[in-house]
Amino acid sequence: MTEQIGRLPHALLLAGPEGGGKQQFALSLAARLLCEKAAGSEEACGKCPSCIWFSGGNHPDFRLIEPGGDEQEDADVDSAQGTQKKKSEQIRINQIRALDGFLGIGTHRHGFRVIVIRPAEAMNHATANSLLKALEEPSSSTLFILITNSRRRLLPTILSRCQTLSLSKPSTDEALAWLRENGTPHAEELLAHAGGMPLAALGEAGDWDRLDGFYRDLAQLEHAGPVAIAGRWESWLKENKEGESAVDKRKLVIWMQKWVFDLIMMKQSGATLFHAHKSLEVRAASSRASISTLIDCYNDLTRIRAVAQHPLNPRLFLEDMLSRYARAALSGR
């Protein structure tokens, strides 16, 4: 792609499954376009003023548009007042409108101007229509990079104004080799759990101990009970010293969904998708439940996942999720 910089479209849509490297590709391309020293197929130098600005997150010719990107001030007020709001899952129309001023002036470094929008499907109809004007009347030396996990959720008018680049999933051997080159322990297990997506697997490497504890807790659920296990999982949600939760409620729901999905797969086909390294445990757990109750449980988890980012009491949230799973998985055939 960097070899074709002179022929780049004004809008590029990066499409592919989650964890496939779309975000990293977009940011690498943006860094290369803004770099003042790189030429031809060279990567961003990482040392020039533009690269230093970019790595610091304050390059004047770069904008990152994502859900909740304009909510920090509100969040600060809420924090001061002791209240908590659910972070928006949508890109707001005022975030797109704010680009008018950015696009209406010349670039600070007399080079490219780059706008990354992720995920593009987080724009509702009105927000997407607001973006259309900028896509229809592109400024010179400006590149929009839209990132999506689902092209079908985008307006046809958006799709028609972007050149799509599909980032496919690498082979298992390629993904494992890359993970091992990056020193990732438990690479095979993490890659399977991530559905074969290497960057998603790398992102979960730091959660391995909790993921291993997750499996142990599910095996002990009948004896320990949902309340005790929910208490253990709640401790995983506590903020670390950097102020960010290492594991959040949504991630725990996704782990549970993957587990229940494999219980269903085991009953239907005798195989697993995410837990090849736990096939014996999956087989034992699936043998105790009916497929209808497991499907109902999976559907419940889908609904629970939709509200996981709401400011709900985490202990009650986890107790409810575990109780639903217990009723399904321990109900007998």
2-166, what's its fold? Rossmann fold (3.40.50)
Q: Edge to edge, what strands does the sheet with 163-166 contain?
A: 62-65, 113-117, 142-148, 11-15, 163-166
- Rounded CA-CA distance 146/156 in Å is 14
Q: Name the CA dihedral angle for 235, 238, 242, 248, rounded to a multiple of 10 degrees.
A: 100
Return the closest-CA partner of residue 228 out of 305, 322, 329, 308. Answer: 322
Residues of the chain with pLDDT under 50: 2, 73, 75-77, 79-81, 241
Outline which parts of the chain fall under CATH 3.40.50.300.
2-166
For residue 15, what is the DSSP state?
Answer: E
pLDDT in tens, 186-239: 999 999 999 999 999 998 999 999 999 999 999 999 999 999 999 999 999 975
User: Angle 170-171-174 (CA atoms, 0-180°, nearest 5)?
Assistant: 85
Contact 204, 193 (CB under 8 A): yes
Report the mean per-residue pLDDT for the chain: 89
Give the pair of three-digit tokens for residue 264: 């269903």
pLDDT in tens, 124-165: 999 999 999 889 887 888 999 999 999 999 999 999 999 999
Return the closest-CA partner of residue 60 out of 108, 105, 115. Answer: 108
Instruction: Look at residue 73 in the predicted model and tell me its pLDDT.
Output: 46
Give the pair of three-digit tokens for residue 292: 């209808």
Q: What is the pTM of this model?
A: 0.76
